[in-house]
A = this chain, B = another copy of it.
Amino acid sequence: MRGIFIFAKESFMAVKKYKKSDDISYALGATVTMELLNRRGTCARCVYVSPKSEVTAVVDKAKSLGIPVVESEKAFNILSPKENCYVIGEFSKFASQAKSDRHHVVLVNPSNSGNLGTIMRDVAAFDCADLIIIRPAVDNFDPKTVRASMGAVFGINVEVFDSFEQYIAKYADRVVMPFMLNGSPFGKTRFDADKKYSLVFGNEATGLPDDYAKYNPVRIEQSDKVDSLNLSVAVSVALYKLYVS
């Protein structure tokens, strides 16, 4: 089987532990790497394959794109020491832009890598909105986020802003709908088909600052048996309703 690989010497690429400031990141696992190759193949730099693996589809795909395949134990020890991971796709970070004629999911100061990835997956699943992230925020290219997104990060538009004001200045003419505990019941909301909506969610622990209340907030109804909804549950419930409306 190994004969079909485009081998490259291990020294060809210098694998380093991921840092936010790097201009490259990593797709951990065969499924995520396949999404990288299929959807953002031009950003793929290299595919690492574990000597233990017998993965062929992802190697064939990399070959067809002319992307080097490196058999390396070391890459896995550095990037994914604890996990059952036998393929890693190295990619250049890329910028994408939201579209003004789409709805938006706006995450204000998200702080959990796994949550952000899960939300990217929700955004891909209910594909009617682009994703906006307001800093400070967790790194949207963190390998943990990329992995939790199951590669959705390669198929959606994500735009990052330094403040909500900068975002809303660029994308005016929308209905801003913040999700806050003191909002009106979301279940009664009717979306106007002629309008574009920005569904705005706060930080996992602290929610949105009070001044978002000026935008007519809504609240996803919930029982008093839980303190609050998980952020990705809130996003999927809200986005699904917009998707089918």
Residues of A at the B interface (CB closer than 8 Å) are: 118, 121-122, 124-127, 150, 152, 155-156, 185-187, 220-223, 225-226, 229-230, 232-233, 236-237, 240, 243-244
Given contacts A122-B233, A125-B222, A156-B225, 5 further A-B contacts (CB under 8 A): A121-B230, A126-B221, A152-B225, A236-B237, A237-B240
B244 engages A185 (CB within 8 Å): yes
Residues in B with CB closer than 8 Å to A226 are: 121, 124-125, 150, 152
Q: Which of B121, B127, B229, B240 has a CB less than 8 Å from the CB of A220?
A: B240
User: How far does the Cβ of A141 sit from chain B's closest Cβ, in whole Å?
Assistant: 19
A121 to B240, CA, bound (A): 19
B125 engages A223 (CB within 8 Å): yes
A155 to B186, CA, bound (A): 25
B223 engages A126 (CB within 8 Å): yes
A-B CB contact pairs (8 Å), 21 listed: A118-B230, A121-B230, A122-B233, A125-B225, A125-B229, A126-B222, A127-B222, A127-B223, A127-B225, A150-B226, A152-B225, A152-B226, A155-B225, A187-B240, A187-B243, A221-B244, A233-B233, A233-B236, A236-B236, A236-B237, A237-B237
